Structure 1
Amino acid sequence: MTKEFLLECERKLAKSYVCTALGRDDDSIAITKEIAKDIAFEVTNSIHPISMETAPYVVAALRTLANGIEKEMNPLDKEIARALQELMGRFQFVKEEVKVDL
């Protein structure tokens, strides 16, 4: 991810916190969903297309990366990650597969 993309995500996150502080929970939730969607698509776009032959490596790399990041997180952030994972599990992704001819 680029620094610009992360800055935009953090700007939206700060806006979400302000909405929560002002009691505008619906706005905060909408912003949180937008951030989750943006990050999911950023990651997805960086690994697509994949071939069926490379898919197991992509899955292993993403799980290993997630485990490594999570290990360094505090308990509250881990709980937030679990809640976001549930939310993101509802996203619909379009499978794009390519065949690489050798």
Structure 2
Amino acid sequence: MNAFKINALAAIATLTFATPSFADDLVFVLKNGTNSVLTHFYTSPVDEEDWEGDVFGNHTLAPGESIKITIADGRDVCDYDMRFEFQDSPDLDTTTDTQDLCELGEYTIEE
């Protein structure tokens, strides 16, 4: 091989292996299977001490409604803690769960 081909192959190999790898976004459908309005939804990887920001922001999820959730935090983890807060519901004031979000296609929060 001539020097040009060797240098070109070396450059391609360097670019291939030097490109940073990014984690895929975690996408699932969240369904409110309760009789209460879901006002806040928080997630964080299981090894984190604190909850991260409210996924809903200013939005809510009424009973029976579904929403597509995308967690694009760039992490390479699958197991997340989830925290759900409801409006005016003494039975469901705050509910938590842990799930493998990489395998989850749909999650229904129920009473």
Report the TM-score range of the alignment, normalised by the length of the smaller protein.
under 0.3
**What is the TM-score of this pair, normalised by structure 1?**
0.25
Question: Highest Rg: 1 or 2?
Answer: 2
TM-score by length of 2: 0.23
Greater helix share, structure number: 1
Structure (1 or 2) with the greater strand fraction: 2
